[in-house]
Amino acid sequence: MKTSSFSKLTKLALPVLMTALSSGALYAQDAAEEGASGTALFLQQFFNAFKWETEASMYMWIIALCAVTALALMLERIYFVFIRSNVDAAKFMAEIRKLVAGGNLKKAIALCETAKDKALPSVVLAGLKRAAEREGGPVDFRAIQNAVDEGTLEIIPKLSERAGYIAMLSNVSTLFGLMGTVYGLILSFAAVANPALPEDQKALLLARGISAAMLTTIWGLSVAIPCIIVYTMITTKTGKIIDEMDEHMVKLINLMTGNR
């Protein structure tokens, strides 16, 4: 997926989030009116926190924006790393080595061409094409190695692209949740310290401030935790793909050049 695809996912994720918030607010309100459990009351307070007249609503919306962006990034990276770039390395390379050992470089190249959008086949293709240029003559180990290195350097940045933003949004969501918490506590302490307010109004403002503080915290963590999980999965898979490229390309180069 290119940047345009990421933009499309972002535009798609925003209305989905807005619809989820609206639907959740209606459900929570109906459930609370019917005297439902504490979970329904919590959901009602949570969705009400997005109303602009509510304390710390700004932080709730900022975290929601982080959630939309992170969702689009995670979907794009999951597709690119787990589907677009992934291949059964052992099975694919077993077939490639069989063809190379039999001297069928053209068939090996054709097999790579069918999956050239994937990470490992594209790097193998670069090495095989360089070897095919010298077909009938001595195979230059250094020339093949350079071709493989060039192909690897083109693939690795694409595998790692934009993954760091997911980790960043995880941290940003947590920090904005913390800011909302501090903001809510400031409002609470200011209400308690105001001598002009009656005691019952102080208690109300104290409860509102603490509620806003806790809601921003849980909302920030709710966005951050999935981001951390998905980021770890993506980076782990990316590392595995790179390790597979290194392992299998060394074996393939040794096979083609006779350096066993």
Question: What's the pLDDT score for residue 221?
Answer: 96
Question: What's the pLDDT score for residue 26?
Answer: 52
Residue 141 has pLDDT above 90, yes or no: no
Phi first, then psi: give them for residue 159, nearest 5 degrees: -70, -35
Residue 20 has pLDDT above 60, yes or no: no
The more confident residue out of 1 and 144 is 144
pTM of structure: 0.81
Over residues 156-185, the pLDDT tens digits come to 999 999 999 999 999 999 999 999 999 999
Average pLDDT over residues 21-49: 63
The more confident residue out of 29 and 61 is 61
Question: What's the pLDDT score for residue 17?
Answer: 60
Residue 40 has pLDDT above 80, yes or no: no
Question: What's the pLDDT score for residue 234?
Answer: 96
Contact between 134 and 146 (Cβ < 8 Å): no
Max avg pLDDT among 3-7, 36-40, 58-62:
58-62
